[in-house]
Amino acid sequence: MAETPPPASKESAGGAPDPNDERFVARPGQHAGTNPNSPGPATGHARHEMAGSAGYPQFEGPGAAHYGSEPLEPAPPVASQPYPTYGTQGTGPEYAQPGMIPPPGAVPPQQPVYGYQQVTTAPGTLDVGRALSYGLAKFRANPGPWVGVTAVGLVIYLAFVLVVQLTDPTTLLPLLLIFLAVLAGVWLLQAAMVRGALYETDGTPPSFGSFFRFVNAGNVLLTALLAFLLTFVGSAICFVPGFVAGLLCMFSLHYVVDQDQGPFEALKSSFTLVVANIWPVLLLALAVLVVTFLGLLLCGLGLLVAGPVAALAVTYAYRTLTGGTVSAR
């Protein structure tokens, strides 16, 4: 039997395309329209259609770009990494984990401190008992150099006695010159002990040679001479004025050795510091006198311990009252 040919479409006959023709029915992902081979209206280009839920090209997955009127799907949240608590040293970890980003305003952890701990504080109240115990502890930790330097003072005193016995000066002038020479040696020795005590408060136990590492010997001698004259004139009037003058000059050599101040500036700085802290400094001065007196009772040999402890205690007071560095151990 001869097959019946399919009916010719209107399009083949030159007529308008049949909208019901299954070839031109819109499928999912396509715009409904006329023959896709015919150019679109008002444009000279044919649109390249690809299958998709919105009829235009797109990528699958969250956060992909969309080119239509559909709402954008938000990108998936990024999991935050745990971040250590930052703050001052001792309140958080010493180091952050690699790759971690600190939050805004975070303070990086401080690096650990090695060696002698140094504590710089604001000027505060002096604890006399703490000053004496600090001096004793520092002396016990490094007794050799301190005993050696103090022994130099005893040698100077014995040399003075020997020179007087050998020369037997009969006039005042030779005796005065010998006395001034001995005083100069004692003042330089005091500056050396101040230098050593400053090393101790910095956290560096000095050797014997370190005590004499000061380059302002001229200012040391002039400052000590002015302090001696003030104390001598005050003592000539009465014991109390002489004691007050010595008390006011208590830290003058510290300002010369530590801050390289001139004689008058160092005396003024010492006066100001003592007046501002009169009661604790007075108690410290009385304690130093008692310690020195106890050292004298042991035939002078006790000064080998009393002298260094007193120098360390006074230097501790100087650094504490001026807010300087004091080694914690």
DSSP assignment of 309-323 equals HHHHHHHHHHHHHHT
* The pLDDT value given to residue 76: 54
pLDDT, residue 169, reads: 77
| Domain annotation covers residue 108 | no
22: in domain: no
Domain that holds residue 142: 123-323
94 within a domain of the structure (yes/no): no
242 lies in a domain?
yes
Measured CA to CA, the distance from residue 250 to residue 232 in angstroms comes to: 14
Look at residue 270 and tell me if it is in a domain.
yes
Q: Is residue 181 part of a domain?
A: yes
| 239, part of any domain | yes
Contact 270, 305 (CB under 8 A): no
Q: What was the pLDDT predicted at 89? A: 41
pLDDT at residue 52, as a whole number: 47
Residue 44 is predicted with a pLDDT of: 46
Q: For residue 167, what pLDDT is reported?
A: 81
pLDDT at 215: 81
Residue type (1 letter), 158: L
| Inside any domain, residue 92 | no
pLDDT at res. 27: 54
Give the count of domains, the chain: 1
What residues in the chain have per-residue pLDDT under 50?
A: 1-3, 9-14, 29, 31-34, 36-56, 79-96, 98, 109-121
